[in-house]
Amino acid sequence: MKDRSLVIAGARMIDPASGREGHGAVLVRDGRIADVAWGAAPDAPEGAERIDGTGLVLSPGLIDMHAFAGEPGAEHRETLKSASEAAAAGGVTTLVAMPQTNPPVDDPAIVDFIRRRARDTAIVNVLPAAALTKGRAGQEMTEFGLLREAGAIAFSDGDRSVTNAMVMRRALTYARDIGGLIVHHVEDPDLVGPGVMNEGERASRLGLHGIPHAAETVVLERDIRLVGLTGARYHAAKISCTESLDVLRRARAAGLPITAGVSINSLTLNENDIGDYRTFLKVAPPLRAEDERLAVVAALSEGLIDVVVSDHDPQDVETKRLPFAEAENGAVGLETLLSAGLRLVEAGQIALPRLLAAMTSAPAAILGIEAGRLAVGAPADLILFDPDEPYVLDKADLRSRAKNTPFDEARLQGRVKKTLVAGRVVHG
């Protein structure tokens, strides 16, 4: 059906790339956007399929720069297929698959494997990120050139930081030459130490070791000096505290090629949500105090933080039903990304077009892909959602193989009604 035309009309359209917003219609042909008509309906070709978007918002599909999809090696937690189904249900049409697989994505053959598996089994676009260092061990850089030729979209050690500054410097230097994008987890493992949640009164009362803000900020600060030295394209994967925002602000002012993301968890939850040792809320970076959360939301709203990621990390019962300190980090997030984000819109903390930009056009620009905009010629990766529909999340309904959501039984608002990838309906 790829060559058939399709008209989506009647919706409130938001194009985050241009900031334009209004009613209208989109014409899709051959998997791409053939026309965007603001106000008036476009001339629909005869026999075109029609989707009525009345009462809904039409926007580009979401692009999630940070999701762990399980394959290869952790298929009991997630597969590219199940992750893509969760993504489609959550309105995510493109996901960057993180490289902390087993084996890790440090060889072009594994990039190739993931691309082929995704082509055969996934219903959304999957862009594999390759490891930054061999075995993600933080010592020797991977074959950036060959990995990129195989289809790697970025280089990252996933949930690990490269602690050796010389290794990082050389990786950034080499990446710059080939125009590669480095996505770095900023969390110093020595400063994390035995820490399992945000450092402060809350952790102390629970008898848990804390993780200071500095664990994040010292790595970010170091990286920014190294970016200054090398000029590489650098993206800080997940920022969680005010000190890091100050570092980012200075880097921006200095004109360095630095972008930053934030996890949806850090935007919508705080350390108090851990309650009595709820391990589904154990994530990295840890959930911080409420004033830190508000600060990162404000930074997202003003554009200091560029993108919002799901930080999707499926964990199974054996790794989560443990005492808090012994449980693994991670929460699933693909399916709830938009709903959780809409909490911030509902609370008046961010405008909807800005939130959508951080989930569409901004990651597209960083990754250098065509998606993420309502423009003629762009891929017809589109979503229709009702921003107001309330629901209570039941984790049993999640498409992910793992059910470790921090939003179980939470009241959420906003549901994706239809998801299209390259003009084909994959959800709804």
Partner 1 sequence: MNARTAFNQKHLLGIEGLNHLEIGHLLDMAEDAIDVSRQVEKKKATLRGRTQINLFFEASTRTQASFELAGKRLGADVMNMSVGNSSVKKGETLIDTATTLNAMRPDIIVVRHHAAGAVHLLAQKVECSVVNAGDGAHEHPTQALLDALTIRRNKGRIEGLVVAICGDILHSRVARSNIILLNALGARVRVVAPTSLLPPGIDRFGVEVRRDMREGLKDADIVMMLRLQRERMNGSFVPSVKEYFRYYGLDQEKLGFAKADALVMHPGPMNRGVEIATDVADGAQSLIREQVEMGVAVRMAVLEALASHLPNR
Site string for partner 1, 317-356 (x = CB under 8 A): -x--xxxxxx------------------------------
Nearer to partner 1 among residue 74 and residue 352 (C-beta): 74
Least separation in angstroms between residue 28's CB and partner 1 is 50
Catalytic entry in 107, 311, 313, 381: 311
Q: For the chain, give the number of residues.
A: 428
199 binds partner 1 (CB under 8 A): yes
Stretch that binds partner 1, among 80-88, 146-154, 157-165, 203-211 (CB under 8 A): 203-211
Buried (b) or exposed (e) across 320-356, using 16+ Cβ within 10 A?
Answer: beeebbebbbbbbbbbbbbbbbbbbbbeebbebbbbb
Q: Can residue 276 be called a binding residue for partner 1 (CB under 8 A)? A: yes
Phi-psi region of 73 (alpha: psi -120 to 50; beta: other; left: phi over 0): left
Binding piece for partner 1, criterion CB under 8 A, among 11-19, 194-202, 296-304, 410-418? 194-202
Q: DSSP state, 38?
A: E
SS3 string, 199-262, reads CCHHHHHHCCCEECCHHHHHHHHHHHHHHHHHCCEEEECCCCCHHHHHHHHHHHHCCCCEEEEE
Q: Is 381 a catalytic residue?
A: no
Contact yes or no for 362/387 (Cβ under 8 A): no
One residue of 37, 277, 301, 349 binding partner 1 per CB under 8 A: 277
Is residue 164 involved in binding partner 1 (CB under 8 A)? no
Stretch that binds partner 1, among 38-46, 178-186, 195-203, 407-415 (CB under 8 A): 195-203
Q: Is residue 202 a contact point for partner 1 (CB under 8 A)?
A: yes
Q: Work out whether 210 is an interface residue with partner 1 (CB under 8 A).
A: yes
Can you name the residues that pair with 234 across neighbouring β-strands?
A: 182, 258
Binding mask 230-269 for partner 1 (x = CB under 8 A): ----------------------------------------
Pairing of strands 57-60, 20-29: unpaired
Q: How far is the CB of 324 from partner 1 (least distance, A)?
A: 5
Residue 277 · residue 327 · CB < 8 Å: no
Please report the beta strands in 227-376, taking only residues with DSSP state E, as ranges in sequence order.
Answer: 233-236, 258-263, 307-309
Reading the block at residue 393, the tokens are: 């999340």
Interacting residues toward partner 1 by CB under 8 A:
199-210, 212, 276-277, 318, 321-326
By annotation, the residues acting in catalysis are: 311
